[in-house]
Amino acid sequence: MAEPARENEGPLSEDDLIARYFRPLAGEGAFGLRDDAARLTPGAGMELVVTVDTLVAGVHFFADDPPGAIGRKALAVNVSDLAAKGATPRGFLLSAALPQDYAPAWLADFADGLKDAAEAFGCPLLGGDTVKTPGPLTLSVSAFGETPSGTMVHRFTARPGDRVVVTGTIGDAALGLLLRTAPGASWTEALGVDGRVFLTDRYLHPRPRLAAIPALRRHASAAMDVSDGLAGDLAKMCGVSRVSAEIDLALVPLSDAAKAAIKADGALLDRALTGGDDYEILAAVPDAGLAPFLDAVDRAGVRASVIGSFVAGDGLPLFRDDGVEKRYASGSYSHF
């Protein structure tokens, strides 16, 4: 828990701000944030996986989202990328461009959320840079993980015949976002309070699928996290792997809340498939490894569903639904 801010004090220097809010998050190799760089040594026989994701207020989250949720999300979306590569989180660097009028109390809550996430994911702060911006709050996290040498799982290595597997449920966050932007839509009445709370939580609190890491390393041909919508991300994986895919829409895993929403408004199915922020894992798993993969993931407490197969070809993935066939031309919800 960061030291509570005193509301009526003057603006903090960058050094004081770092000491107060970010030092409690610092891990081994960060030297208490007293150096201007950190040390990171992979374990024996391990190699590092590095990734970066940037979140801009008003683009990737709402400026008035709970600050703790923003802090957790900034790290979670990066740890989700690591998990999809089969990489165990080791640490992160934070770049925070703060608006001129940021409130110390906001920053305290943000840092608390970030600390919760760092602890939950085993991914401590290694260093960072804090600057002021005349623009919106902009958070960039570079995250580092490690895999036993040669076991990093790539995006571009799906092969024809591999099964298309996805963790968790799809579309919840996209519907949670709709609840936020269009709270009065008629379909929301079909949800009940529990359904609304569930979808909102799925939007605000991505939970990277760390439990799937060992199974991915061992059994997956390829994997990526689903952050820009299942349809678009599957198309990306197919494009870089030079394959296509055929999906049985009836097999795409949906939560009870998403099912209720789609039952009330059929058009929401497309939204669930193309909306962003799932932070589930999309994997290509060869038949030989399918049963052990599903078993390992299940034992780790994560649901995984086979939704189709990768096939030879270079077309967009085909989604079959009760005799109807669809391809999502620009299926990806792009944050860009």
Question: Where do contacts with a second copy occur on this chain (CB under 8 A)?
Answer: 13-15, 31, 34-42, 47-56, 58-60, 81-82, 84-85, 87, 93-95, 97, 126-136, 138, 140, 142, 144, 149, 152, 154-156, 224-225, 236, 240, 334-336
Burial readout 231-259 (b: 16 or more C-beta within 10 A, e: otherwise)? bbbbbbbbeebebbbbbbbeebbbbebbb
Q: How far is the CB of 254 from a second copy (least distance, A)?
A: 25
Q: Which DSSP symbol is given to 211?
A: G
SS3 labels along 134-171: CCCCEEEEEEEEEEECCCCCCCCCCCCCCEEEEECCCC
Which is closer to a second copy, CB of 60 or CB of 115?
Answer: 60
| Closest to a second copy by CB, 30 or 191 | 30
Of 145 and 195, nearer to a second copy (C-beta) is 145
Return the number of the residue (138 or 188) whose C-beta is nearest a second copy: 138
Residue 100 has which token pair?
A: 């001129």
> Of 15 and 256, which has the nearer Cβ to a second copy?
15
Question: Are 207 and 76 within 8 A, CB to CB?
Answer: yes
- Of 190, 170, 173, the C-alpha closest to 181 is 173
Q: Which is nearer to a second copy, 31 or 190 (CB)?
A: 31
Shortest Å distance, C-beta 84 to a second copy: 7
Minimum gap (Å) between residue 184 Cβ and a second copy? 26
CB of 314 to a second copy, least distance (A): 15
What dihedral do alpha carbons 182, 185, 190, 191 form, nearest 10°? Answer: 10
Name which of 200 and 274 has its Cβ closer to a second copy.
274
**Torsion 278-229-280-167 (CA) sign:** positive
Residues 6 or more apart whose Cβ sits within 8 Å of residue 106 = 67
Any bridge partners for residue 95, and if so which?
129, 140
Strand 88-99 versus strand 138-148 pairing type:
antiparallel
Bridging pattern class, strands 222-226 and 138-148: unpaired
